[in-house]
Each structure stands twice: as structure tokens, then as C-alpha cells.
Amino acid sequence: MLAQAGIDPNDRVFDLGCGTGTMAVIIKKQFPQVEVVGLDPDPRALARACKKAARESLTIQFDQGFGDQLPYPAASFDRALSSFMFHHLPAEEKGKTLREVHRVLKPGGEFHMADFEGPEDRKQGFFGRLLLSHAHLKDNSAANVIALMKDAGFADAAKVGRRTKLFGAVAYYRAMK
Ligand SMILES: C[S@@+](CC[C@H](N)C(=O)[O-])C[C@H]1O[C@@H](n2cnc3c(N)ncnc32)[C@H](O)[C@@H]1O
């Protein structure tokens, strides 16, 4: 996903649903000049994220919050990234969250997202079917995600990759403001 995001050293990058900060740390190590901001509602995950960053002597801003009410002004970021967060959202939060991501991106900014692909695909393995029993995955088909991205105002939204794992398919998306 980082390769697809095409991060520039002068960018401000937002990691939505950053969890324990793995991706934020990778970005900051790869692009030391980039200002990285991670947000997650889980205080324990954020505490671990802060420790990881401190261990590597990296300055990363970690904030507590939810995707559907981002604590940032409009046009704050050049890139927004999110990995394996979207399927956690109930249907009514998915659209709101995408509208918030759109709001905080600068004009010309891009949203890159990877997530488990919901069930328009029947070729899921055993673990995939187990995963798809997750209620929120039912509305996580690529077609639905792309439609929600377009509804949220993204001019161009597309699935740009797909990988099949033991536990099901992972879809990679790019949405341009
Ligand atoms: C499976 S973890 C992925 C964490 C990280 N992005 C990664 O790839 O390692 C999903 C994360 O989404 C976060 N999350 C759940 N609901 C959220 C919401 N409404 N807004 C932002 N993050 C949320 C969870 O707290 C959790 O840290």
C-alpha cells in the first residue's frame, strides 16, 4: 500500500485506525521528513504505538478519536492511509468516515486503503468464510466501498489491487480528491 501511495518527502500523512502504529512507524522510518499523524479510538493500542515510536526515536503524532469525527481542520493532509480498519465500521459509519477523510485531505490529496473484501466473491476459503461471518463485512464488497467513496466526494475511486490470503481476499483502493 505504501508503494501505491507514492508518498513525497514533504507530505503530511494520516493513518486512520493506526492501531499499534506499525504502518506509521514504517512510514516515518522510510520518509523521515514526512509528518505522520495516526488516529485510533483504542487507548491501549495508542499507548503501544507511542512506545514503538519512542523506541525508534521517531516523532509521530498519535491521537485518540473516531474516523467519523476527525479532530483536524479541512485540507490538513496530502495522503490518508488506512489498513484493515474499514470492516470494523457499521454501515452507517462507513459513509460518514469517508466524508471525513475527504474533508481533511488537501485538494489533489489521495486516500489509500487496504481491507478485507466483503462477499461478492464466493471463492473464499474456510477462514475467509469465518471472517465473512463478521457482520460488518457484509457491506464491505469492493463495489460497495467504491460507491461509498464516490458518494463521499472522491472524484476517482478504484480498486487497484487484490491479494488472496489464507483468511480471505484483501482489496487495495485508491481514491483521489
Ligand atoms: C485490525 S486493526 C488494524 C490496525 C492497523 N491499521 C494495522 O493494520 O495494523 C483495526 C483498528 O481500527 C480501529 N478502529 C475501529 N473502529 C474505528 C473507528 N471508528 N475509527 C478509527 N479507527 C477505528 C481499531 O481500534 C483498531 O486499532
Domains observed in the chain: 2-176 (3.40.50.150)
Per 3-state DSSP, the chain is made up of helix, strand and coil in percentages (nearest 5) of 35, 30, 35
pLDDT of amino acid 132: 54
Number of the ligand 1 atom closest to the C-alpha atom of 17: 22
Whole-number Å distance, alpha carbon 39 to ligand 1 midpoint, is 9
- Average pLDDT per consecutive 10 residues, the chain (177 residues; last block may be shorter): 94 98 98 98 98 98 98 98 95 96 98 89 55 67 96 96 86 97
Whole-number Å distance, alpha carbon 84 to ligand 1 midpoint, is 7
Residues 85/97, Cβ–Cβ less than 8 Å = no
What's the burial of 106, exposed, middle or buried (CB within 10 Å: 0-12/13-18/19+)?
middle
pLDDT of amino acid 173: 98
CB atoms within 10 A of CB 41: 12
Quote the pTM value.
Answer: 0.93
pLDDT of amino acid 126: 57
Parallel, antiparallel, or unpaired: how do β-strands 168-176 and 105-116 relate? antiparallel
